[in-house]
Structure 1
Amino acid sequence: MKKQVMLMMALVLIFSVFAAACGSKPGAGTTNNAAGGAAGKEEPKKALKIGATAGPYSDMVSKAIKPLMEKKGYTVEVVEFNDYVQPNKALAGGSLNANLFQHVLYLKKFAEDNKLDLKEVISVPTAPMGLYSKKFKSINDIKEGSTLTISNDAANLYRSLLLLQDIGLVKVKKDADPAKASEKDIEENPKKLNIKPLEAAQLPRTVDSSDLALVPGNFALAAKMDLTSALKLENMAENYRNVLVVNTKDIDSQMAKDLKETIQSKDFEKIMDEQFKGFSKPQWMTGK
């Protein structure tokens, strides 16, 4: 009896070893499925968050940068802001990968004041400041003593003065400080224009109530104004063009390289020409 039991146990053991050996053959069972699953698995897409102020620059990210970057395998989320402080702080804090809303002068001053390590990647087409009027059809029609509204913040005010000087309406003092500019920096005012500095956001509303209004491009677009209807658009200096910005540690990353390549592409320029009429192109784009 004892011999029969031992014989039965030996047979069970032999069967178990045989079954295990069969299950471990190459290409059999779960080992093959796992290998097949790993081989067929798609690489995860690269997530990217880009911050921009609401309006033309969030539109630029959404309509031009986002779809072109997605062709490169990225998933892009556009984060909108309503001020000029949080986009840089969010980028420095790591909740954004890049932002688009500011020119280089603002970037450098803000980064210095707030001890942030940020760097521009490339400039983009930018909505220029324009001189608008419902009263006059051309610069030559402007009458002596006409009322002119301009921005009261130094950066935009200095740009306003340069535009006025460019078309011969004023002469600006040579030692005027762009960071502290005011209407007192006007050296000559041959048409005796009545200049009224106001908050930049209010300027689009003054086009109807004043003779002339100098309106920064972003506020003009926010008010649904047609940039091409201006009597004169500014001859924009390169350091006033908006730039795409990343953390300095990412300036040589593949992400930054892909963003730059996207903005330099013919597809990007085509979208600018079709959907962002009146925007001033940077020198690298125009070849000037």
Structure 2
Amino acid sequence: MKKLSGILSIILSVGLLAGCGSAGTNSSAPAAGGDTKTEEIKELKIGATAGPYSDMVTKAIKPIMEKQGYKIEVIEFSDYVQPNRALANGDLQANLFQHKIYLDNFAKENKLELTDLISVPTAPMGLYSKKFKSLDEIADGSTVAVANDPTNLARTLGVLEDAGLIKVKEGIDPLRVSEKDVQDNPKNLKLQPIEAGQLPRAVDSVDISLVPGNFALAAKMNLLDALQLEDMHDDYRNRVVVNTSEVEKQFVKDLKAAVESDEFEKIIDEQFQGFGKPAWMK
């Protein structure tokens, strides 16, 4: 009995030591639901709409990130809905295609936790004409094609006011201005609302067409051919967007630093001429 008792004591002691050892191993692991210290993410999928912003990721962001050891895959989208859904679902680590107003509305309506990381140079709206070669030539009663959606219409009126062609009432929010807020129209311009995507074609059929930058580039228009380019409000500039839960991750910090770098701005100056730079770059 004494021998059996001794054996049991030894087994019990070994079990307790093993238990302490297990507890020590697990103590370094995170509690359920807590933050995990996982290996840094080095393979990123960045979504963008096909065209200038997909090109911007490919030509201006990807090379800088890859020098830091990241592997970047650019995923192109043809609509403005799926890039945010793919980001929220974890299929992307970031996207670039939208301005702040669209992001805030989309995130609120769809209950998504997305954060705009940094604004980037954005193709501005332009005042284009094949009939007039300068603002001074614009004739009384000219027909002006404008976008029929509120956001682009507000931008249109801002461009026309900056060009000295109309005057908007003082104190009006520049992001929400509409036709009823036009106070002076000395040249009696006739605004003709149409779908924004049709504005590049309208250049051939009306006196003046106000074309958003993305549609101008898609139609192979030269931004620098505009009689007037938009002095864009920063809320209309496109953003790099990430999941709110990942804002503090290293890849997000490196992504922001890449956009802030001199190399990024150099590529923009060389390959994205006419793009308006955000306030932080000026």
Instruction: Identify whether the pair has TM-score above 0.5, normalized to the shorter chain.
Output: yes
Moved over 3 A (4+): 173-182
Is the Cα–Cα contact under 8 Å of residues 152 and 182 in structure 1 kept in the other structure? no
User: Matched residues, percent identical?
Assistant: 64
Aligned to 1:37: none
Aligned to 2:255: 259
Q: Tell me how far apart the structure 2 counterparts of residues 179 and 265 of structure 1 sit (CA, whole Å).
A: 30
Aligned to 2:12: none
Pairing partner for 2:82 from 74, 80, 86: 86
Matches within 5 A, 1:120-199: 120-174=116-170, 181-199=177-195
How far did 1:179 drift?
6.9
Q: Tell me how far apart the structure 2 counterparts of residues 220 and 62 of structure 1 sit (CA, whole Å).
A: 20
Q: Tell me how far apart the structure 1 counterparts of residues 40 and 214 of structure 2 sit (CA, whole Å).
A: 36
Q: Tell me how far apart the structure 1 counterparts of residues 166 and 129 of structure 2 sit (CA, whole Å).
A: 17
Q: Tell me how far apart the structure 1 counterparts of residues 153 and 40 of structure 2 sit (CA, whole Å).
A: 48
Pairing partner for 1:47 from 43, 46, 59: 43
Pairing partner for 2:91 from 95, 98, 103: 95
- Mapped pair 1:275 → 2:271: yes
Give the secondary-structure state (helix, strand or coil) at the position aligned to 1:77.
strand
- Mapped pair 1:76 → 2:72: yes
Structure 2 alignment gaps of length 5 or more: 1-38
Is the Cα–Cα contact under 8 Å of residues 69 and 259 in structure 1 kept in the other structure? yes
What TM-score do the two structures reach when normalised by structure 1?
0.81
Is the Cα–Cα contact under 8 Å of residues 45 and 92 in structure 2 kept in the other structure? yes
Matches within 5 A, 1:236-251: 236-251=232-247
Give the secondary-structure state (helix, strand or coil) at the position aligned to 1:106.
helix
Aligned to 2:280: 284
CA RMSD of aligned residues (A): 1.7
Q: Tell me how far apart the structure 2 counterparts of residues 75 and 92 of structure 1 sit (CA, whole Å).
A: 20
Structure 1 alignment gaps of length 5 or more: 1-42
**Over residues 132-167 of structure 1, what are the superposed CA-to-partner deviations in whole Å (9 max), with x where a residue is unaligned?**
111111111100000100111111110101111112
Q: Tell me how far apart the structure 2 counterparts of residues 134 and 232 of structure 1 sit (CA, whole Å).
A: 13
Is the Cα–Cα contact under 8 Å of residues 148 and 195 in structure 1 kept in the other structure? yes
